[in-house]
Amino acid sequence: MSDWHEPVMGPEVLDLLDPTADGLYLDGTVGGGGHTKLILDACADCRVIAVDRDPEALEEARQTLAEHRSRVRFLNVRFDRAPEDP
């Protein structure tokens, strides 16, 4: 896990989301990528749109999520400005 941020309530997040193979998830404040990594580790085929307005956070998330790169789309925008159909 990244030294940049340790996700809190990871098991609770996974329990509530219950990631599925055809799922597409939005992490509106991806930060260092901790919660997104948990989602991608829990589900071999699901995908995540990783959004953050901080370019340094996105760079950290790219490193944290390198092994899942084909299933993540990174967007450097505010979450309320993320496109509806990325």
pLDDT in tens, the chain (86 residues): 456 667 889 999 999 999 999 899 999 999 999 999 999 999 999 999 999 999 999 999 999 999 999 999 999 998 888 776 55
pLDDT value at residue 65 = 97
The first and second tokens of residue 60, run together, are 């950290």
In terms of pTM, does the model score above 0.85?
yes
Two tokens, residue 7: 């996700």
Domain limits, the chain? 25-77
Q: What is the DSSP letter of 80?
A: G
Return the number of other C-beta atoms located less than 10 Å from residue 64's C-beta: 23
Q: Report residue 17 as tokens.
A: 């989301």
pLDDT of residue 1: 47
DSSP secondary structure letter of residue 31: T
The answer to whether 11 touches 35, Cβ cutoff 8 Å, is: no
Q: So what's the pLDDT on residue 6?
A: 76
Q: Residue 38 in contact with residue 7, Cβ under 8 Å? A: yes
